[in-house]
Amino acid sequence: MLEIGMEAPNFTLPDYSGKMRKLSEFRGQKVIPYFFHKVTSAGCKNQTCTFGDLYPQFLEKGATVIGISKGSVETQKEFQKEYNLSLILLSDEELEVIKLYDVLKEKKLFGRPAMGLERTTYLIDEEGIIIKAFEKVKPSTNPSQMLDELDE
């Protein structure tokens, strides 16, 4: 996990429409990048849809939410359309940003070691500095938790 107080590494990834999005385009506002496995799993669907439901409140507080997963652009597009989401979902099929943000961890899968994405959420300030970092987040409570963090 990246350290609080460090500058968040910039990245460029495609969104659901294939448009390349950079973290740096959001300077001047708070950014909440959250990393999740794939939108087709129950926990990730819950987390992403809840972030989507609360998205207007995040915008009111001057924050943009960006979901990042290893899912394809096409998968993200279908999900975004099906649930009418306005938040930004980015595809990192090559795991470049997932590795850059240190969320690819060794886990146990059926008793064997395997590399997997650890649910992690960061809060980045208007200057691009990481001010909060949460690992092993609970998908059901993480969106509300992050909304509360904006009030502190």
Taking 80 as the threshold, does the pLDDT of residue 108 lie above it? no
Catalytic residue among 44, 73, 87, 88: 44
Residue with tokens 């609360």: 54
* Dist. CA 20–CA 91, nearest whole Å: 10
Catalytic residue check, 49: no
Record the pTM: 0.93
Over pLDDT 70: what percentage of the chain? 100
| Cα–Cα distance for residue pair 137/120, rounded to 1 Å | 6
* Start-to-end CA span in the chain (Å): 22
User: How far apart, in whole angstroms, are the C-alpha atoms of residue 50 and residue 143?
Assistant: 6
pLDDT at 47: 94
- The answer to which of 35-39, 85-89, 137-141 has the lowest mean pLDDT is 35-39
Identify the pLDDT of residue 115.
83
**pLDDT tops 90 at residue 112:** no
| 16-59 residue pLDDT tens | 899 999 999 999 999 999 999 877 788 888 999 999 999 999 99
Residue 110 to residue 98: CA distance in whole angstroms: 23
Amino acid at 12: T
pLDDT of residue 58: 97
Rg over alpha carbons for the chain, rounded to the nearest Å, is 14
Cα dist. 18→23, 24, 34, 106 in Å?
15, 18, 19, 30
